[in-house]
Amino acid sequence: MGKSEAKIKLERTEATLKELIPEALATLNDERIRGMAVVDVVCSKGRDNCKVYLDRAFIEESEIGEILSQLRKAKGVIEGYCATEQGWYRSPKLSFHFDELLQQENRMDKLFKIVEKELHGKN
């Protein structure tokens, strides 16, 4: 069974935003935000709202709140950039989140390596 046209449009919008948002971030003044990597973009069914997941690597726990605050302030600029670049009447409303899953996977990998070393070290 093929994908519906609506699903294809949704995925196309997500892929487009995944490319455009880092470009928009690179235009901002905040050094910490300019180089942020977008891990994933998930749009609502109607493409009105969009969650942007950012890579948390190299960001201190103490900086997270401030960075999210700066991103909320810059949201209009980022949405405007995306709309202009694509010729859209308006961009989906963006909300920014740090991708915790990647951090959890990295911690799990470290734990597995420790367990593996202990198992092989005791044989």
67-111 pLDDT per residue, tens: 999 999 999 999 999 999 999 999 999 999 998 766 666 666 677
The answer regarding whether domain 5-121 maps to CATH 3.30.300.20 reads yes
Q: Tell me which residue of 91, 8, 112, 83 sits closest to 49, measured CA to CA.
A: 91
Q: Tell me which residue of 73, 70, 65 sits closest to 33, measured CA to CA.
A: 70
Pairwise pLDDT comparison (93 vs 45), residue with the higher score: 93
pTM as predicted: 0.78
Q: Give the distance, in angstroms, between the CA of residue 82 and the centroid of all CA atoms in the same chain.
A: 15
Q: Which tokens go with 38?
A: 């977008």
